[in-house]
Structure 1
């Protein structure tokens, strides 16, 4: 970290002492204090393990934390930038290359930062939280693709916590393969910067990869009783560049299609400290993303133009009560949380050109997806002893009710007679109740951590004349409910601070989404339709992990490291498959979401961080995952969502609090053809990318950060971004899906 609060306070103290010292004595004292400032900071505590401020070194899993300082130093404009140097954690963002009102390319890139992949799985199989509140579920149908990353804004976050591996024992559904918790900024964090009763900051920034510019304004005020904060952020940009140079208006185009976007967000917080033990936090947040694209790559002999827009809105209200009392015999810590969030994604497509047969042009599609949720929970911690055993009990309940719905209109869609999906699934109430208990039992160096969670969920559709009119086969929407137990058992043995091995077993699950249980679409005139499945089961996983971590003090600096090997078996994967039919008008193909597949995922990962006393820091990390999936016919193939081996290495030189320079290298191996369903499709080759960044502090009130990504202007493809696109190996437009070439970013922060 370039300048932490601890380092800033230390630097100010150094300056004051220099005024009162002789030059020689001042120089000697400064050197000693600067050396101390460059030592590793205090251990990071995390909330993503569901403990309240848990020690990251006492977790039987791989956990990493990205701080607000690191986000600023990287000039990360979104979560894809923020997670760039996290091996094994990928953010999927397809090139915005939509084309045609119908067809597979209709949704390409519409989801933006669609979601986060951990250990080869993504989408709704990874739990994404913001201050403990689940982000809306991903949804895609027709021309609409609602990505989960569109509801986030990195400028609002104090840190991002990443927990790899199943987390259903504490969080419930969607914690099948990992958790990412976005923790928003807090007034106290800002007031601590200068130790004053007020704080103000302005941070303008620029990124050449999409010619975007923006600014973040932050203010905070407070005293011992009341604190407040307001963060405002806005950003305007264009299409993300590719390495392509074909500027034609056709499918052969390899330059990015033109687009513009405008993102705005705001976060306000009030904190009332009732007494030293109790506090109430109230927050309001809004995120708004607007995008408009012109798909020149969709132009054909009959399509003369294709324009699209995407509007994403999210609003959240949250109240948190915090109680901390170390002298309480029953519960030393308690958190009560109440929240409401409404979210909406609306996407519009307009296609102009020549009418051909039954395809009338111009035509349009206008689709909206809503996901509103009201919920809350109580979390408590109790520490006590039974004989020689120390217990740390974490327990609580969660409950929420979400309302999900979608609507669509379009050319020729006026009566919803069954040949449209104007209500692909009916308005649905999705309720969840969960209760959990975990006991961290310590006897000397040994920790035994059993945990168990119970979840019950219910998917209850509302009566809908539109949906029933579509379901011409007489299949009305059905209520679906079930429950799940998610156990966990872990062991940690701290041989010494330098070596602490652990082993754990965890079970995860994901309940089906409303549109997977109840969905209907009938296009028998084209030879296909889709039906509901009220008998869907939840996806489940059984995972095993063996790992270690340690901290070692050397004569030249401190070394920390971790490693893990994992194996998971996943059952009842929910896939949309053809269950019958021949694809003809007389015998149309019937598609249905079913528990069609199972998967096996195994891999290894490791991290190393060596902070030397001379201001040099070396870091490295890698992640290798291998996955296979077996469909309902017993055919085993490679799991396409698994990314190739990823290695990240970096070096940072920070001799004092004034400046730093840092270099990072990212290496990915090639994706293997045997790991994709169609071996003749294009697979991403291996690549090296070299990044360079620096920072310079002009004074305690002004700092400059600058960086160059892909310094050597390499042409490369990210498998996570391009997978599933079915690009033939012989395709001439492959360069349209490349990552940006050399780009630079710049920001200046003024704070008082």
Structure 2
């Protein structure tokens, strides 16, 4: 079998035999013959579909459309299981608001990674408030790219862990498309359709993704606990003739996503979880998040005959949300029992309050406080990258120069409603004034520049690069009874950051089958707005690995080491911080993270066109603090304590059988136990999220060129397991769920 294009293609080739595979020479030929528009678009992607994995310095994975087609996952958490070095904390069972970290960087709302769609920052306010309460719909993506290591410095501002890029639907070369219709457990109904094509000088595509279900958790009143997502995309591209001396293209991309989910932060006590992990308390029966996201992106591409390329993108993202969810308790009886987490941790001391949450007893008047966590965001900017390929003797250069100007803000205007538990249900009691639970704006503007040169000579490739970030962050608060903000503004001290982020990657091609790669780079995460005492997060990072590819056998190993001079913690409601601390940041001082990422696979071939693929993906991560301190985010930390919510071992194994018309894949995913707070030694039961081993099964049968039947089962053996103890109590993983459907291709 030919060498695999890159790690993402490896997943498919080794799991289902469904992806394209290329020899290195074939990949080079394809790149040369590729339409100029696609070549230019490669510049703003993390990896790019035309890139041979051997030619990428450091750690890189691209999950292609064929990869994503196997299980048709709508949950980004399950998608990213296929990528080594990714840390995940599940929350709602569907991956609607994921918590993603890379190489131990921290998972809280994916705030410590550079998150993009089509090479453009996509978090609601990536500088001012990077917590990703919006995440692109994984089910409509054509590819998912993950870049870690030395070459990730070009994808700032957050370079400690790396970058995740979601790649939206590309415009097909010929008119065509598909329609997926599927149904499943808990009333799941999904429609996914695409149509588009390319003419002489114009091309376009439209996409619809509509999915909803009733949820796998149950409320005493039988109310819906599921979600409804409507996601629309349109692209229009104008371009010059193929034989034009100067190739140019202009593409406009429009997306609109409306989401509605009846999700809560309120989990369960250990005893209630043991009795029924999928139950929800009465206090959460009104919890709901309503979201709207709109994106406009305009991209101009230029390519000259001498190979010079330029891609310039202007973008604007708007996001609005109102998460109406349980916040805390009022008029309590037990000492300290006003906080939900304290109640669940102390069910005896707070027996009365726990009975209110459950709905077992009538509560004090207005005892259940529910907050309108209403926020609006705008993120906009313009970025440009210029590529200048040239040679100097026998040395080949690919020089990239880039600049970006970016602005974003988050606007909070929040208030509370109080409810009384009466007869096992919530009754409205009162509400506070608009702005009383948060009335502030945080904003940022930033310039970013990078220069990177890919220098190739003989068997060596060296990639020096440097990034410069100049960031200004501001926060202003107003009185809780001043929703019009006509009174005095309480502006906090402006935070300014100017920093250089250098990196160096090296690759040596030992022979046609074995490649060595490594690098060293500075990790950087900026502090948040309104935190004058918070220092930027900085680390010195090293990596070294090898890639082996020979006749269908594939292996990749990468060791990494991150030495933090300062690690930051940010208080959010998602991690259970109190009102007074939301948005505050804390310096954690020195820390160390090291680990190992492994991928291996082989596909055995038999007569009759049958294949039996095997794929293994393993990550080992070891992290510890190297400073004694105490704060509201990390807690009481002693030097040598391990990180919270960071699994030491993660393993994904897949195998199956397939031929030209049929494929079946069984996937096993193991995640070791994690601790909830920093600590060392054995993990106490109340501070522990147990490890789990989960199996997923997928099968599909192609009836004809136009019709394919498919079915999947997630959590095949219906294992009951917890995924977190935050924000409030134990939260369950998704039970066994099935999906079946039909795909029409035209």
Normalised to the residue count of structure 2, the TM-score between the two structures is 0.76
SS at structure 1 position matched to 2:446: strand
Q: Does 1:274 align with 2:240?
A: yes
* Residues 413 and 422 in structure 1, CA contact (< 8 A), matched pair in contact too: no
Match of 1:539 in 2: 537
Deviates more, 1:684-693 or 1:503-512: 684-693
Match of 2:113 in 1: 126
Displacement of 1:702 in angstroms is 0.7
Q: Does 1:217 align with 2:217?
A: no
SS at structure 2 position matched to 1:169: helix
* Residues 668 and 696 in structure 2, CA contact (< 8 A), matched pair in contact too: yes
Matches of 1:359 and 1:540 in 2, distance apart? 49
Match of 2:474 in 1: 460
* Residues 644 and 677 in structure 2, CA contact (< 8 A), matched pair in contact too: no
Instruction: Return closer, same or farther for 1:362/1:742 CA change in 2, 3 Å cut-off.
Output: closer
Matches of 1:148 and 1:296 in 2, distance apart? 21
Displacement of 1:480 in angstroms is 1.4
Corresponding residue to 1:180 among 153, 164, 172: 164
Instruction: Return closer, same or farther for 1:39/1:724 CA change in 2, 3 Å cut-off.
Output: closer
Match of 1:29 in 2: none
Q: Does 1:603 align with 2:595?
A: yes
Q: Does 1:155 align with 2:155?
A: no
Instruction: Return closer, same or farther for 1:567/1:744 CA change in 2, 3 Å cut-off.
Output: same
Corresponding residue to 1:72 among 63, 69, 74: 69
Q: Does 1:396 align with 2:402?
A: yes
Displacement of 1:306 in angstroms is 4.4
Instruction: Return closer, same or farther for 1:473/1:566 CA change in 2, 3 Å cut-off.
Output: farther
Displacement of 1:454 in angstroms is 0.7
Corresponding residue to 2:377 among 362, 371, 374: 371
Matches of 1:235 and 1:535 in 2, distance apart? 44
Matches of 2:327 and 2:374 in 1, distance apart? 18
* Residues 150 and 519 in structure 2, CA contact (< 8 A), matched pair in contact too: no
Deviates more, 1:608-617 or 1:214-223: 608-617
The RMSD of aligned alpha carbons is 3.9
Match of 1:261 in 2: 227
Unaligned runs of 5+ in 1: 5-35, 97-108, 140-144, 242-246, 251-255, 518-532, 578-587, 728-733
Q: Deviations over 1:565-616 (max 9, x none)?
A: 1100223323368xxxxxxxxxx99995332333211000111232344323
Match of 2:293 in 1: 314
Map 1:293-308; keep pairs closer than 5 Å. 306-308=285-287
Q: Does 1:620 align with 2:616?
A: yes
Matches of 1:305 and 1:738 in 2, distance apart? 15
Deviates more, 1:620-629 or 1:453-462: 453-462
Matches of 1:510 and 1:610 in 2, distance apart? 38
Matches of 1:740 and 1:349 in 2, distance apart? 21
Q: Does 1:566 align with 2:560?
A: yes
Corresponding residue to 2:323 among 347, 354, 362: 347
Matches of 1:267 and 1:692 in 2, distance apart? 30
Corresponding residue to 1:422 among 394, 415, 438: 438
Deviates more, 1:339-348 or 1:633-642: 633-642
Matches of 1:38 and 1:296 in 2, distance apart? 41
Instruction: Return closer, same or farther for 1:474/1:231 CA change in 2, 3 Å cut-off.
Output: closer
Corresponding residue to 1:690 among 692, 695, 700: 695
Corresponding residue to 2:184 among 207, 211, 229: 207
Instruction: Return closer, same or farther for 1:341/1:310 CA change in 2, 3 Å cut-off.
Output: same
Q: Deviations over 1:130-185 (max 9, x none)?
A: 0112122589xxxxx99626431123321100113466621222232021100111
Map 1:22-101; keep pairs closer than 5 Å. 40-41=21-22, 48-49=45-46, 53-95=50-92
Instruction: Return closer, same or farther for 1:429/1:73 CA change in 2, 3 Å cut-off.
Output: same
Matches of 2:315 and 2:461 in 1, distance apart? 34
Map 1:409-558; keep pairs closer than 5 Å. 409-411=415-417, 420-423=436-439, 426-461=440-475, 464=478, 476-514=491-529, 517=530, 533-553=531-551, 558=552
Deviates more, 1:489-498 or 1:454-463: 454-463
Displacement of 1:42 in angstroms is 5.7
Corresponding residue to 2:664 among 661, 665, 668: 661
Instruction: Return closer, same or farther for 1:115/1:134 CA change in 2, 3 Å cut-off.
Output: farther
* Residues 621 and 648 in structure 1, CA contact (< 8 A), matched pair in contact too: yes
Matches of 1:662 and 1:589 in 2, distance apart? 46
Q: Does 1:593 align with 2:585?
A: yes
Q: Deviations over 1:393-443 (max 9, x none)?
A: 1221111111221111224775689xx5421xx323311111111111122
* Residues 644 and 674 in structure 2, CA contact (< 8 A), matched pair in contact too: no
* Residues 545 and 565 in structure 1, CA contact (< 8 A), matched pair in contact too: yes
Displacement of 1:496 in angstroms is 0.8
Matches of 2:664 and 2:673 in 1, distance apart? 30
Instruction: Return closer, same or farther for 1:504/1:379 CA change in 2, 3 Å cut-off.
Output: same
Aligned residue-pair number: 633
Q: Deviations over 1:72-104 (max 9, x none)?
A: 3202123123224334424433258xxxxxxxx
* Residues 568 and 602 in structure 1, CA contact (< 8 A), matched pair in contact too: yes
Q: Deviations over 1:267-295 (max 9, x none)?
A: 00001112332211111001111023587
Q: Deviations over 1:358-402 (max 9, x none)?
A: 973575422212221111111122221222221111221111111
* Residues 228 and 270 in structure 1, CA contact (< 8 A), matched pair in contact too: yes
Match of 1:575 in 2: 569
Instruction: Return closer, same or farther for 1:149/1:490 CA change in 2, 3 Å cut-off.
Output: same
SS at structure 1 position matched to 2:512: coil
Matches of 2:66 and 2:18 in 1, distance apart? 16
SS at structure 1 position matched to 2:286: strand
Corresponding residue to 1:237 among 213, 221, 225: 213
Displacement of 1:200 in angstroms is 3.6
Normalised to the residue count of structure 1, the TM-score between the two structures is 0.75
Matches of 2:283 and 2:603 in 1, distance apart? 58
* Residues 71 and 154 in structure 1, CA contact (< 8 A), matched pair in contact too: no
Deviates more, 1:342-351 or 1:257-266: 342-351
Deviates more, 1:66-75 or 1:280-289: 66-75
